[in-house]
Chain A
Amino acid sequence: MSQTDIRVGGAPAPPTPGQASRPWWTSRRRDQLAGYLFIAPQLLGSLLFVFLPLGLVVWYSLHEWNVLAGTFDFVGADNYTALADDPNLGSVLRATGLFSVGLVVFNLALALLLAVLLNQKLRGTIVFRTIFFSPVVVSLVAWTIVWGFLLQDNGGVNGLLDTIGVDGPNWLRGEGSAMLSVIVVQVFKNVGLNMVLFLAALQGVPAELYEAAEVDGASRMRQFWRITVPLISPTILLTSIITVVGSLQVFAQIAVLTQGGPGTSTTVLVYYLYQQAFQFHHFGYGATLSILLFGIVLALTVLQWQMRKRWVFHES
């Protein structure tokens, strides 16, 4: 309290210019604090579970970490050199690419087809929508284990094919069929989510555009390509980003169905990372692989985001 504040009786003195005139605890500061408190849980969570692990992964990638011996030695860029020289990396990236392309194409095409079919005002469409969406809420591992049984040589899928006289392959043991199986299992699991997003987008397309097109004599197919696809292109962008990123994170399906085999035909990047870090105990190299994965996801997302201007309606 300063000298000037001391008064005996009477009203407080008016503030003198140049002195701390306003109280520190203003409503503006209160609002700021409230704002920080609101974002604090999210910020703390991000720091703890995103930025700290991300920083640690970079740190680990510069080390050789022998868990059993308890050693943690700085090796500089050795893990990155090993990554460049890794003879398995080519087949791992090929399997990852194949899975991603297969998943994105099958998933988006099927989701759009289902959405178009279920966008009709017919009896029973709600039941079908529920049926196609229900796998999304089923436990991923349970879903995959059940499919593992169905895809066995003497399993349900081949039993069904047998009834129509088709001799089905040993799905999880052939290199091509194993990859196809993993993709299809994943597509059926998540197609419902993209279907719902497409349905919402389809219902946002103004009906008068179709009416006008019909008056102009445009066929249904032409209407689909010239009206529907451009108007739902923001949703196609969203679903393709979600699906691409999701496809690069596939793990449980591979671990349960094929363990990366036969050979290394289904050893995708995340599964290879798991093998290196947790099975072979090369934690430093595993961290390096995860940085490669981070780079690929980032590059693909940026690429898609940049390309939106060329093909997404409203973005050009």
Chain B
Amino acid sequence: MKTGKGLRFAAAALAGVLALSACGGGDEGSDGPADLRMTVWSANEAHLKLLNEIADEYRKNHPDVSAITFDPLPFENYTTTLTTQIAGGNAPDMAWIFENSAPDFVSSGALLPLDDTLKKAEGYQYDDISPATLKLWQDGGKLYAYPFSTSPFGVFVNTDLLKQAGQKTPAELIAAGQWTWDAALAAAGATQRTTGKAGLVIRDFDYKGWDNLSTFWTGWGAQAWSEDGKSCGFAAPEMVDAMTALHKAIFTDKALPGPGTTADFFAGDAAMTVTQISRASLLKDDGFAWDLAPLPAGPKGDYAVVGQAGIGVLKKSKHADAAADFLAFLTNPTNSEKLAQFFPPPRQSQLTAETLAKTNPKLKPEQLQKVVIDGITSGVVKPNHAGQAELSQQVRAGLDPLWKPDADVKAVLDGVCAKIQPLLAK
């Protein structure tokens, strides 16, 4: 009897707990004013201030929306945190999505199709959006996220440091038609040897974030995987050539800081850094003299690489329609122009040096033309694939043996393909 009572008590307690936990989630229909939340990667005050201003303006004419919150998540674990929130029944109404997780989100059915809402929005000018920027965010002819930011990679240059090392600046090399990776790496190596500071840093790579190396290997015509995503590209001759050049630059010429060594360009620790133009905000007015150059030409000529981020509306949101309506407002021509100072827009009419110069005081019109506009028009998007997190981990682990002075580049790259080909073929 005692056991029976104990069991009944335990069962009742468990039932109570389950009932309590069941109260937490649920996708009930909309009721009452909408309280919208959007996850973003940036906690930059200026970014949030502008977003909040646009949200306040929207709410003036939309009493049905009681609040719009921008919820910054740490950049390093952004996608993991976002998916954990979704798994925990705490999905945001809108989410910023990086290009590397775009295929997963777009194909999963987690996002609300946006075409109709955006096309119907008053004065939206949907056709103004560059079709090239929409490609990553479409599936089956439907658009699942708005390409909020298309940010090309360029080379920020500490001209003080290069001059101190007696090297030509990229501007001089561009004028002489000599702005190539060979020249850039030679200048970087010479600067390191002369000044003791780092030569060139591929930002956010740090021997882990390998997808940032696409800013380098694309110059050799290499790619991580084929266009259809089915075949590994790491063992291709172009990639072997590119990685051999990179390996030599790191371990022989010391043009890039080696593994386990940190150098922050924006703190004045390096002569050059490859990064997105949105990082211009990190430059200090009273710091060193700087310049922004397009990526150097590789053996295959001039090229550009872009990073993309989209904003999607989660289907699970209780207020998905209200969120889509706000997204249409946030990205209309007027607000898109305001946001252009931080996030290069996909609207063709706004991709002019004149428009961008108004909101990018730190960049000169020719920099905007060469790096931003040409980059967005012709740029290759950083590697992205369904199941990217797992692929990324396998590539990272596979490339680790490459970051040693005596590495066999071809053998390591063959090993990477052996690891990821089964995942690509899925």
- Interface set of A (CB-CB < 8 Å, partner B): 43-44, 47-48, 51-52, 65-70, 151-155, 170-173, 259-264, 275, 278-281, 283
Contacts and interface: CB of A to CB of B under 8 A. Distances in A.
Contact of B389 (A154, A263, A280): A280
B210 to A, nearest CB: 12
A280 B390 contact: yes
Contact of A170 (B86, B208, B259): B259
B13 interface: yes
Q: Which DSSP category, helix, strand, loop or mixed, fits chain B's interface?
A: helix
Given A261-B208, A278-B84, A153 B259 contact: yes
B156 interface: no
A53 to B, nearest CB: 10
Given A261-B400, A264-B397, A69 B109 contact: yes
Interface size class of B (residues with CB under 8 A): 35 or more
A181 to B, nearest CB: 11
Contacts of A152: 260-262
A197 to B, nearest CB: 35
A173 B260 contact: yes
B414 to A, nearest CB: 15
11 contacts: A47-B17, A52-B17, A68-B104, A69-B110, A152-B262, A153-B261, A173-B259, A173-B400, A262-B400, A275-B393, A280-B389
Interface string B65-76: 000000000000
Contacts of A280: 387, 389-390, 393
B397 A66 contact: no
A263 B400 contact: yes
Contacts of A68: 83, 86, 104-105, 108-110
Contacts of A173: 207, 259-260, 400, 403-404
Given A68-B109, A173-B259, A263-B400, 10 more contacts: A151-B260, A152-B262, A154-B260, A173-B207, A261-B397, A262-B397, A262-B401, A262-B403, A280-B393, A281-B104
Contacts, number: 86
B80 interface: yes
A70 B83 contact: no
A67 B109 contact: no
Interface of B: 10, 13-14, 17-18, 21, 80, 83-84, 86-87, 104-105, 108-110, 207-208, 258-262, 315-316, 387, 389-390, 393, 396-398, 400-401, 403-404
B397 A154 contact: no
B80 A278 contact: yes
Contacts of A262: 397, 400-401, 403
A34 B367 CA distance: 77
Nearest to B393: A275
A70 B390 contact: no
Contact of B83 (A44, A151, A278): A278
Contacts of B18: 52
